[in-house]
Chain A
Amino acid sequence: MAESMKKKRSFDLSMELIVGATLLIVILLSALFAHQLFPDGVDKIDLLSRLTPPFAKPEHPLGSDPLGRDVLARVVAGGRISLLIGVTSVIGAVTLGVTIGLIAGFYRGITDMLMMRFVDIQLALPFILLAITFIAILGGSLINTIILLIVSQWVQYARLVRGQVLALRDREFILAARAIGVKDWRIIVQHLLPNLTGPVIVLMTLNVANNILLESSLTFLGMGVDPTIPTWGGMLAEGRSYLQTAWWVSVFPGLAIMLTVLGLNLLGDWMRDQLDPTGKTSL
């Protein structure tokens, strides 16, 4: 009985890996080679065939946007900036947030207090205010957009991780490690970090999607990228006013975001199970 359950579980795991990884690899590769796949489709404006519905013309399989550009080509190419912004900003925020959360939670005391007050200050700043200040000082560019997203989001991870560490630091396995003289950094890396992956990965997958959309709202503040460069968030925003007349302009980039997040979720689930030390023994 126990044997069969275990078998079934490992099968599920690999399905998650296969589907998740395939989705992401396909999206990533096609985004990278979009201009090779669609030699003249990504930026070509054709005002006379604007808003062609999907499946109507062979040259626009998923229809065309208000400027007559091919939706399929733009969705594929749009992954480039969107994934770059979504993934790098989350990785940056996780690195910063997890490090600070671990240190604050593990050492407590004055370090903890100072860091958490800083987190409080950061949380009290509304995102839009932060974004506008950022534009005023640094100006808008791709790198600045990523930095802004990191700066505005690391606190979530810091808070989450610190809470987890506080709950774990007095557990027996940590106390035991300390008792036998394991160094601090080893306790943190080997014993605490693996126990945090679950919640952090969940938060990460949610944030990637969120950041892809935030990029488009930043465009409204004049901070995003050149509107001629396709991004999923930008396409969604552009298509919003055509929702009733030309659904395909916004539905397909939305679908792309959904598939990316699904892929990331599946991969994240799989990774969590692999890294979670309790996962292997608890079932």
Chain B
Amino acid sequence: MNKFLKTTAAVAVMAIASMGMATSQSMAEGKLSVSVALDPGSWDPIDTFLVAWGAVGSNIFDGLTERDTNAKLHPGLATSWEVLDEGVRIRFKLREGVKFHNGEPFNAEAVKFTFDRLLGEIGAKGPQRANYTSVESVEIIDDYTVDFHLTQPDPVLLTKLAGYGAMIVPPKYITEKGEDYFNTHPVGTGPFSFVSYEPKVDLELKANPDYWGDVAKVSELEYRFISELTTAVAELQAGRLDIVEDLPISMLSVVKDDAKLDVVSTAGPTVYGLRFNTRDGITANKDVRKAIVMAVDRSTIIKSLLAGEAEEIASFQSSLSFGYDPELKPLPYNPEEAKKLLKAAGVAPGTEIQIDIRAGKPTFNEVVQAVGAYLQTVGLKAVIKPYENSVFLNDIVPQGKTGALFQQSWGGWTLDYDNTAYLLYHTGQKWNPYGTDAKLDAMLEEQRPMTDVAKREELLKNIAAYVADEALEMPLYGLKAIYGVNKRLEGFVPAPDNRVKLNTVSIKQ
């Protein structure tokens, strides 16, 4: 009897095991491991603005629109849209037959629920709502048609619908299970669905076989939260991670030298530069500002300190940005001309020039030291003053307490120059402590409500050219988005904004 039981059990185990094998073979195989620097703590799209959320959330959720890695917009959960009534109404046709991971159908109801929630009481608690205040209401026309009513035309809205707070969430699931449960058990329509989440450790996902787009080529996807990049790179080398995002420049050669690994990069949205105190001291003079820019060999800095993983910029935007003008060239490196300009402006050799930076940013710290050395060559004595992050961001810059130059870095996944220029140059903005230029203000205000895309782009280009001509800043570089990737992956396409969709990636056996 006993023996019989054992045998049956053994047979049963074998049968189950072979069944397991059979099912896993029918689907895509393999597990993908990706490192994420931070644990956002909540997977609700409206709770955070962290890039780490964007990286993960884009694989769980979908927006009405979708943006590819070249920053082009495509249909997402909406198959088409029409801008009506001079830009204050947008009609979306929704994709039919899409289901959330829990089986709930996606329809107009879900879209309305998502935006009522984002713009209502619950959204008010999070940081995402501010991005979508141009939406007044969402009206259901039929099951698969919705109208967005806007308070004013918002040229960036369609892009903003492709990510973060505008990701569509399941109404029934959230109503039944509650907000807290949804935070730790996310359900969306994306290519991967939720399996388990251990805070500060990892998030496990599995392929969604019913995905409306390309079904994932791997069966499992794991995100591990590793804040120390050195650790992440060591894990990549050991083969326990497949993708590491935001690889630091100093570790590029470690990854490049490893036969199993690759460095993959693409133009990114984040730009770095030094802005001038245009109100006080020698930098109130436009010619002095131009001289300071010309004194610094930016392309050598990019080639050597940044290992070429950056692009030279002429205005405060990357080549992906809407409003980028390839015709606009940065001021040339010309120390002789710089010396002449400084002399003409009456700046004595050995004049001290203070550069304020944020402490604890190793790469930029090196760049600024190099900038200081270049300024030395035209007779200016650079003094670098590091500040604690929050002091710098909340007091020194907004209160206009900086030295002649101060650090500015600017990201933003929407990739629209308006998002940068308005906040950096319009009078009275937090990030514009010194400038009060009525002409610039007028240009910035004029483009905002414009629905004519080509005309608005032209205006943005004019703004960039004007700012460059006034030399309001020393644009340094746009950093590429750099990924360390295991060579066993196939079909990996780097995204500029960390939001890599992993359904196209497969594992070579």
Interface residues of A (CB under 8 A from B): 43-45, 47-48, 50, 66-68, 132, 135-136, 140, 219-224, 226-228, 238, 240-245
Known: A47-B304, A241-B230, A241-B251. A66 touches B387 (CB 8 A): no
- In chain B, positions 416-439 with a C-beta closer than 8 Å to chain A are none
B437-460 CB contacts (< 8 Å) to partner A: none
Interface of A is mostly: loop
Judge if B386 is at the interface, Cβ distance under 8 Å: yes
Which residues from B are CB-within-8-Å of A48?
300, 304
The docked-state distance in angstroms from the alpha carbon of A241 to that of B362 is 8
Question: When the two chains form their complex, are residues B391 and A227 in contact, meaning their CB atoms are under 8 A apart?
Answer: no
B301 contact set on A, CB distance < 8 A: 47
Please report the C-alpha to C-alpha distance between residue A257 and residue B14 in the assembled complex, in whole angstroms: 63
Task: Rank and list the top 6 A-B pairs by shortest CB-CB distance, nearest first.
Answer: A222-B388, A45-B373, A241-B250, A222-B387, A222-B359, A47-B304
Cβ contacts under 8 Å, B300 to chain A:
47-48
A222-B386, A245-B251 known; 8 new pairs, CB 8 Å cut-off, are A47-B304, A66-B250, A66-B305, A67-B373, A221-B388, A224-B386, A228-B369, A245-B253
- How far is B387's CA from A238's CA once the two chains are assembled, in angstroms? 17
Cα distance A245–B307 when bound, in Å?
14
In the complex, what residues of A have CB within 8 A of residue B386's CB?
140, 219, 222, 224, 226-227
Chain B residues near A132 (CB-CB < 8 A) = 388
Whether B384 contacts A227 by the Cβ 8 Å rule is: yes
Are A50 and B392 in touch, CB under 8 angstroms? Answer: no
Indicate if B122 sits at the interface (CB-CB under 8 A): no
Instruction: With CB as the reference atom, state the residue of chain A lying closest to B382.
Output: A228
Whether A228 lies near B254 (C-beta < 8 A) is no
Query: B interface vs A, CB < 8 Å?
Result: 230, 233, 248, 250-251, 253-254, 300-301, 304-305, 358-360, 362, 365-366, 368-370, 372-373, 382-389, 391-392
What chain B residues lie within 8 Å of A244 (beta carbons)? 230, 233, 251, 254
Question: Taking the nearest CB of chain A, how far is it from the CB of B427, in angstroms?
Answer: 28
A242-B388 Cα distance, complex, nearest whole Å: 23
Q: Which of A67, A135, A238 contacts B370 (CB 8 A)?
A: A67
- Determine the chain A residues whose CB is within 8 A of the CB of B388 once the complex forms: 132, 135, 221-223
A219, B359: Cβ atoms closer than 8 Å: yes
| Contact of A47 with B359 at beta-carbon distance under 8 Å, contacts A67-B305, A226-B384, A227-B365 already known | no
CB distance from B415 to the nearest CB of A (A): 28
Task: State whether A67 and B248 are in contact (beta carbons under 8 Å apart), knowing that A222-B359, A227-B384, A241-B230 are contacts in the complex.
Answer: no
Number of A-B pairs, beta carbon distance below 8 Å: 79
Contacts of A219 in B (CB 8 A): 359-360, 386
Which of A136, A228, A238, A240 is close to B372, meaning CB atoms less than 8 Å apart?
A: A228
A-B contact pairs, 16 of them (CB 8 A): A47-B300, A47-B304, A47-B305, A50-B305, A67-B305, A67-B370, A135-B388, A140-B386, A222-B359, A222-B389, A222-B392, A226-B385, A228-B369, A238-B365, A244-B233, A245-B254
B300 to nearest A CB, angstroms?
6
Instruction: For A221, list chain B residues within 8 Å (CB).
Output: 359, 388
* Minimum C-beta distance from A241 to chain B (A): 4
Is A238 a contact of B360 with CB atoms below 8 Å? no
Q: How far is the CA of A240 from the CA of B366 in the complex (A)?
A: 13
Of A45, A223, A224, A242, which is within 8 A of B250 by CB? A242
Q: What's the Cα separation between A238 and B94 when bound, in Å?
A: 52
Complex CA gap A241/B228 in Å reads 11
The reply to whether A67 and B250 form a contact with Cβ atoms under 8 Å apart is no
Contact (Cβ within 8 A) B383 A226: yes
- Contacts A47-B304, A228-B384 hold; do A241 and B370 have CB atoms under 8 A apart? no
CA distance in complex: A226, B372 (Å): 11
In the complex, how many angstroms separate the beta carbon of B363 from the nearest chain A beta carbon? 8
Bound form: Cα–Cα A244–B387 in Å: 28
CB neighbours of A140 from chain B (8 A): 386-387
Q: Which residues of A contact B365 (CB under 8 A)?
A: 227, 238
Decide: A241 and B248 in contact? CB cutoff 8 A: yes
Give the complex CA separation of A66 and B362 in angstroms: 11
Closest Cβ–Cβ distance, residue A201 to chain B (whole Å)? 34
**B362 adjacent to A220 (CB under 8 Å):** no
> How far apart are the CA atoms of A136 and B390 in the complex, in Å?
11
Inter-chain CA distance A47–B230, complex, in Å, is 24
In the bound complex, CA of A135 to CA of B391 (Å): 9
Q: Which residues of B contact A220 (CB under 8 A)?
A: 359-360
Complex Cα spacing A44 to B374, Å: 10
- A260 to chain B: closest CB distance in Å? 25
CB distance from A52 to the nearest CB of B (A): 12
Most B Cβ at <10 Å: residue of A136, A140, A226: A226
Contacts of A66 in B (CB 8 A): 250, 305, 366
Verify B383–A238 contact, CB threshold 8 A: no
Per the bound structure, the CA–CA distance linking A48 and B358 in Å amounts to 26
Q: Which A residues touch B360, using CB under 8 A?
A: 219-220
**In this complex, which of B251, B254, B389, B391 has the most chain A Cβ atoms within 10 angstroms of its Cβ?**
B391
Inside 8 A of B383's CB, which chain A residues have their CB?
226
User: How many angstroms from the CA of A223 to the CA of B386 in the assembled complex?
Assistant: 7
Residues of A contacting B253 in the complex (Cβ-Cβ under 8 angstroms) = 245
For residue A146, give the distance in angstroms from its CB to the closest CB of chain B: 18
Please report the C-alpha to C-alpha distance between residue A44 and residue B370 in the assembled complex, in whole angstroms. Answer: 10
Chain A residue with the shortest CB-CB distance to B249 = A241
A133: shortest Cβ distance to chain B, in Å? 11
**Chain B contacts for A243, CB-based, 8 A:** 230
Q: Which of B230, B358, B359, B385 has the most CB of A within 10 A?
A: B359
Report how far A5 CA is from B233 CA in the complex, Å: 56
Whole-angstrom CA separation of A242 from B253 in the bound complex: 10
Bound form: Cα–Cα A67–B219 in Å: 45
User: B254 — which chain A residues lie within 8 A by C-beta?
Assistant: 244-245
Find the A residue at minimum CB distance from B372: A228
Contact A47 B370 (CB under 8 A): yes
Q: Which residues of B contact A50 (CB under 8 A)?
A: 304-305
Which chain A residues border B248 with CB–CB below 8 Å? 241
> Which chain B residue has the least Cβ–Cβ distance from A131?
B388
Most interface-central of A220, A222, A244, A245 (chain B CB within 10 A) = A222
Which residues from A are CB-within-8-Å of B358? 222
B420 to chain A, nearest CB (A): 25
The one of B250, B372, B391 that contacts A222, using a Cβ cutoff of 8 Å: B391
CB distance from B326 to the nearest CB of A (A): 27
Q: Give the chain B neighbours of A240 by CB distance below 8 A.
A: 362
Instruction: Report the bound CA distance from A244 to B250 in whole Å.
Output: 9
Enumerate chain B residues within 8 angstroms of A223, measured Cβ to Cβ: 388
Least distance between A47 CB and chain B CB atoms (Å): 4
Kindly provide the distance from the CB of A35 to the nearest chain B CB, expressed in whole angstroms.
15
Q: Please name all residues of chain B whose beta carbon is closer than 8 Å to the beta carbon of A43 when the two chains form the complex.
A: 373
B53 to chain A, nearest CB (A): 26
